[in-house]
A and B are shown apart, each in its own frame.
Chain A
C-alpha cells in the first residue's frame, strides 16, 4: 500500500470512498494497433480519483469468445500482450513505449502495479491505453485473449473552502 496524503491541492482530504475504473479488450494473436475503450477509464465524478494501483489481468477465450475451461498460466498470457498508457487529461505518458503486461506486476503473488505515491485524476481526465499482441505459442489453447485493466483507489472528499483560512 502507498501513502495516504493528508491534502490535495492544498485542501484537507476529509474522506475516501473506494473506487475502481475498469476497461477490457479482446484480441487475437499478432494484432497491432489495439485501442482500449477510453470511456470506462475516463473519470466522470466530481470528486478527484486518487489511484493507488493498476491491476492487469489476461484470460484465454475460445473462438466463440467463451472462457476456455483450463486457463493457461497467467505468466504466459501476460507475456503475449504489451501496452502503452497515457493520461490524456494531462497529456502525460505513463510508459515510454510498449511494455509487456508481465513487466508491470511485481510477481505471481502480488499481480499489481502498485503506486507508492498515488496519482490523481480530475473530472474529465482519463487513460488512453493502446497495445499489441505477440504470436501465440504452439499448442496454445485459447484463440483470443481478454485483457482486463483496472485502476483502483479512492474518490476523495475535500474540505470546502472556509473563511477561516
Chain B
C-alpha cells in the first residue's frame, strides 16, 4: 500500500475516500499485434479525481464459445500478453515499450503493479491501453486469452475553497 496524500492540487482531501475500481477486458487470440481497449473503457467520468494505487492484470483462457477453459496456468498466460499504457490526458507514457504482464507484477502473492505514490486522473482523462500477444503454445491450441485489467484506488473528495483557509 502506498502513501495517502493529504492534499490534491493544493486543496485538502477529505478523510472520506470512497474505494473505486475501473476495469476492462479484451480477448486476445494468438500472435496478435497491438490491440487497443476502447478509449472510453478507462476514462474517468466521475466528478471527483480518481486516486489510483495499483494496476491489477488478470488472464483467463477461453474456448471457441468464449467459455472459460480450465487447465492452463495463469503464470504461462501472463508471459504471453504484453501491455502498453499511456495517459492520454497528460500525454504521459507509463511503458517505454510493450512489457509482458508477468514482468509488471511483483510475484506470486502480490500479483499487482503497486504504485507507492498514487496517480491521479481527473474527469475526462483516460488511459489508452494496447495489448500484444505472443504465439500461443500447443496447450492453448484453439483457445484465446481474455485479459482483464483493473485500476484500484479511491475517489477523492476535495474540500472546497473557503475563507477559513
Contact = CB atoms under 8 A, between A and B. Distances in A.
Interface of A: 1-2, 4, 16-22, 24, 40, 44-45, 52-53, 55, 57, 59, 62, 66-71, 107-112, 148-150, 152, 154-155
A16 B99 contact: no
Interface stretch (B17-25, B39-47, B130-138): B130-138
Contact of A110 (B75, B107, B117, B119): B107
Contact of B79 (A52, A59, A149, A152): A59
**Which has the most chain B C-beta neighbours within 10 Å: A4, A149, A152?**
A152
A22 B79 contact: no
Interface of B: 2-3, 55, 73, 75-76, 79-80, 87, 90, 92-100, 102-104, 106-110, 113-117, 119, 134-140
Contacts of A112: 106-107
B3 A4 contact: yes
Contacts of A19: 93-96
A40 B2 CA distance: 27
**Which has the most chain B C-beta neighbours within 10 Å: A45, A67, A148, A154?**
A67
A22 B99 CA distance: 6
B99 A150 contact: yes
A17 B73 contact: no
A66 B137 contact: yes
Contacts of A2: 116
**Which has the most chain B C-beta neighbours within 10 Å: A1, A52, A107, A155?**
A1
A21 to B, nearest CB: 5
A20 B102 CA distance: 13
**Which has the most chain A C-beta neighbours within 10 Å: B3, B95, B96, B98?**
B96
Contacts of B107: 107-112
Given A67-B76, A69-B138, A17 B92 contact: yes
Contacts of B110: 109-110
Contacts of A110: 106-107, 109-110
Contacts of A149: 103
B134 A57 contact: no
Nearest to B105: A55
8 contacts: A17-B92, A17-B94, A19-B95, A44-B96, A70-B139, A107-B107, A112-B106, A148-B100
Nearest to A52: B116
A18 B94 contact: yes
Contacts of B140: 69
Contacts of A71: 73, 75-76, 79
